[in-house]
Structure 1
Amino acid sequence: MTQNGEGQEAPGGAPQVLTFGAPSVGEVLAERYKLEQHVNNDSLGRQMWRGIDVVLRRPVAVVLRYPGGDSAGEMLSAAVAASRIVHPHLVGVYDAIDEGDRAYVVREWVDGSALRELVADGPLDADRAATIACAVADAVAAIHGTGMAHGNIHPGTVLIAGDGRVVLADARADEATTPEADLRAIGAVLYCALTGHWPHAEAGPTSLPDAIRDNDGNLAAPRQVRAGIPSYLDELTTDLLNPTLAVPPADVLVGELSRFEQEGGHPLFAAEGSGFHEFDSAGTVAGPSRPTSRKIMIGIAGLIVIALAGVLGATQVLSDHRQAVPQGPGRSTSTPGNARSGQLTELKLSPNQVHLVDDVKGKKNENDTDVRKIVDGNINTGWRTDQYNDSPSFANVKSGMGVLLDLGSEQHVARVQVQLSAQGASLELRAASTAPSDLSGTFAVATSEGGTLKINGAEFGLVGDPKADAATNVLLPGLPDKPVRYLVIWISKLPSVPTSPGKYQVGVQEVTVSVQ
C-alpha cells in the first residue's frame, strides 16, 4: 500500500517542511502508536509511517510534521475537521497530536494502492473509472454537506483498498478552497482514470504525464485520447473540466456517475475467491438506471427494528483534550474515532456497499440487480426473493439467503432498521469484523421468527398490535459491545403470498443502519 504522495495537487501551494529529528522504528508516540515502517515522505515533506495502535491492535498510518506548534495548525485543523465526518469513502482520522517540536495525525491504514499507481500501469476501463469517481463524489458530497470543502483531490489522495473500497484521504481545505474546485478535481480524477494523463498544465506531485493538447493548448477529450469511452461519460468529464460551465452539486454528480457503474461480479480489484465467494454477490456497484417491473409497491410494510446497543469498554483509550485545534506540546485532540456520544447517526450507505448473499454457490439471478435499491431511501423500491413453492423454507433447496452490508470500516452499530414487504419472515442479523467467506465467518446478533425477537435465546414480544396488516416494530436493546464492519441480514423462512396460495416470497424495501 502506498500512503504517501498525498500533498498539494498544485506545485507551490505550500512550502516544503523540514523533516529533521526523524523518529526511529519501534518508537511509541503518545504511549499508544508504535512506528513500524517509514513508508516515505509526501510532497510537502511530511513523514509517512505505518504503525500499530498498541491499545486497539489495529494498523494505522501516522503522518508526522516537523516542527509542530503554530506551523502545524493547518494540518491539525484539517485532521480534526475530517474526523467529524464518518463515511465509507473517507479515510478515518483517529487522532491529532501536537508535541511542539513535532506534530502528527493518526488515521486509518488503507491496504491497497493509490489511483496514481494504478493508472501508471495503464488507464482503467470506463466502468471502473466511473465507479472510482462516483465513490469520490459520494465522499465529497458528505464533506460539502457539512459546509466544508476537501481541497486536495488528485490521484495520490484517491486510494483503492485491496477489498475494492475506494477512499479519499488527506483533506487540506483552507479559506481559499471552494466546493467548485473539489468538483473540478473530481473531473480531473475521472480524466486521469480514463486516459492515464493528468489534465493540468503541470502534473505536480501526481507524477503522471500531462494531458494531450492541441496547438492552442486546449485539452483533448477522453475519447480523442482513447477509443471506446462512452460518449456521455466523455462529455461529463470534459464539462467538469470546462471552467466556463457550471458544475453540478456533488450529490447530483453521484447520480450521473452511477449510470456507468458495472453490474455483477466481485469487488473491484479484489483477489479472486476473496470475500463472500461461497455466496452470490450483486456486485460492488449499481447497474445503470432503467425502468423495472420488480418494484414492490406496498401498503403497510412489515417493519423490524433490530438494535445493537452498548458502549466501548476499557480497551478504548481516549485522549483527554478536546480542543478544536491542539495547542501546546503534548496535547491531543480526540476525534469521533476515539469517543462516542449517546446520539445516533444514520450511516449513509451507497449501492456499492450492498451485496446479495446466497448459500447456493454460483447463483446470480435472484433479482440481484435490485439489491442496491434497499439503500436508495425509497420505500417503494427494493429487492425481493423469487417465489418458492409449497414450503416457506425456500422450497427446501437452500437454507436461506439475504444481504451483506459493508459499512466501509468498523462501526459501533446502535440499530439496524429493516423494512419488509410483508410480515412473517424469519430473519437473523449477523455480523463480522472481517469479510466473511460464508455464514460461519459471522456471529449471530439477533433473530426474528414470526414476529418474536430473540437475543441470546431470550424472547422479546412485539411493540404494538401484532395483527396481520400492522407494521411490526421490534426494538432490540443490549448486546456485548463489539465494533463490526460487516452486517448480514439473513432470511431463513418466507411469508406466504396472500394472492398466490402455496407461494412464498418476501421483499426488503429499505435498510437503515444507525451508529454511535
Structure 2
Amino acid sequence: MGIRTRGGSLAPGGVVGDGRYRLLAQFGIDERAGAHLWRARDGQLRRDVALTMLVGDPADAEAARRGRRTLERAAHAAKFNHPGVARVLDVLSLGNGISSSEGLLGIVVAEWTKGTDLVDLVADRPAEPATAARMVQALAESVEQAHQSGLVLGIDHPQRLRMTPNGRLRLAFPGPLPDTTLRDDVKALGAVLYLLLTGRWALEGGPPALPAAPRSPGGRVVAPRAVVPGVPEELSALALRTIEDGGQGGIRTSAAILRVLDKVAEDAERTQLIKQSGQEGSDVDSDGAVWTTKKPVRDARSRRRLALGVTVLVVAAVGVLAWLGMMAISFFQDDPSASGPPVNLAEQTQTQQPRAPQQTKPPSTPKVTTGNPVPPDEIDVYNPEGDGDGVATAPYAIDGDATTTWRTDEYRQQFPAFKSGVGLVATFDKPINLSKVRITADSPGTSVEVRVADSADAELDETRVVASGNLSGSQTELSLPQPTQAQYVIVWVTKLSGQEPEYASEIGELLFLPAR
C-alpha cells in the first residue's frame, strides 16, 4: 500500500509539498533512511526537479530527529556549488511546505540531472576500466572539494547518482543520512568504482536490483579482478583498498584516490602514445627488431619534476664549491708563511673607538614549575566550520601511545583557502591551572595555537589564544606566558604540514601540564 499524500499516494500523478510538486517517476528508495527518490514537476516554476522525500511518522520522535538532521545537512550543502553535485533548491519540513497529513518528514528539492541512472548503466555489462576510472575521477574531485569545505555529500547509495550526457557521475539526489561521515563518502568512491568494474555493489544497504559483491569465507570483499579477470590490477587494488576499513595500505581520503587515478591515467596515456609510435613511426632493424620512441609529455607534473631535478643539481654544485673554498682556507691557515705579519694589539686598542655602554638585561620572568600531566576526561575534533577531520581517531591523541596518531584530512590548498583551521578540544573534569602543552608529532611546519574556551562547542571567536608556535622535531612544548585556569583546551592547527597539493598534519600525543 502506497504512502498517502494530499494528492493521493506516492505514485506518478500524486502531488506533495502543499500541492506544488507533481510526481513523475520514481528512481529508487534508500531504505536506510526511508528516502524515496523521485523526478517531479514544479508547478510554480514549470521545471523538473529531483525530490528526496523522507517518508516516516512525525509522531516517532527518533525518526523525526533523524529527518531533521538530514534536512539540516542538506540545507548546509545548499551553498556548495560544483558540477558533480545537483544544486539544492529548497528544503521543506513539517509546517514549512509539508503538512502533517502527507506522511512525510521532509523533502530535499534539487535541480533535475539529465542523463542515465547508474544502476541502468551497468545493467547489461560493466563499464570499460578506462571509462570507469574517468567517471570515478570526476566524482572524487567533487567529494574532495566538498570535504575541504567541511561537507559530507552522502554518495553511498548508487541510486542517488546519475551519469550526465557528458559522461560525468553526479550526485542527483542530495540529502546525506544523519550519521554519514567523510569516511563513508570515501568508501562510496571505492564502491562506485567496484560497481562500474563488476556490476556489483560492495556496501551494505544497496538496492535490491543490484547483486551484492561476493565475499570470502572470512567476510572480506573479493577483489574486482577475481570477479572480472580483465580488470587492471591497479584499479582492482584501488577499489578494494578504499572499501576496506582497516589494515595496512588502506585508502582513507579522496585525495589519495585522485593520486592513484592520476597515475592510472598517465600510464594509460603513456601506453597509448607507445602504441601510436609503434604504428606510425617505428624503425625496423635488419634483424627484425622494432624500436619505438615516445614523445615527451609536457604536462605540469613533468615540468615540476624537471624543476626539482635542476634545483637539486644547483644545490649540489653550490655545496661542492663551498667545500672547495673551505679546503682552500684551511690550507692557507695551516701554512705559517701565509699567516701575515704580527699584529700589535696595544696599538690597535689605542685606535679603536670607545665602546658603547653595555645594555642592562631586563629582569627575567620568574620560572614557572610544572606538575605531572593532567589527562583530559575526553577529547574530540574541534571544527566549528563543518564536519571534523579524523573524528574516529581523535582519542589516539591522548592514549599514551605516540605511534597511534590523529590525522587531519588531506587538503590540496593550505589553510585558510577552504577553512581557517581544524583541531582537537580536550575536556577536563574540572579546571586546571594550565602552564604548558607538550605535543608529540612528526609534522614539521605545522602551526598551532593553544586556545581556551568556556565550552567544548564554543565558536572560534568565543575562544582565547594563550600560546602558539610551530611544530619542529618529534616533540614541541608550548608555554603559556602566565598559567591559565581552563576546563576546555583547544589545540588549533592554523597551518598544515606538507606542500602543494598534499597538506596534512598529525598528532601522536598531547600532554597538558599544570603549574605547581
- TM-score interval for Structure 1 and Structure 2 normalised by the shorter chain: 0.3 to 0.5
Larger Rg: 2
**Which structure's relative contact order is higher, taking Cα pairs within 8 Å and 6+ residues apart?**
1
More helix by share: 2
- TM-score (normalised: structure 1): 0.43
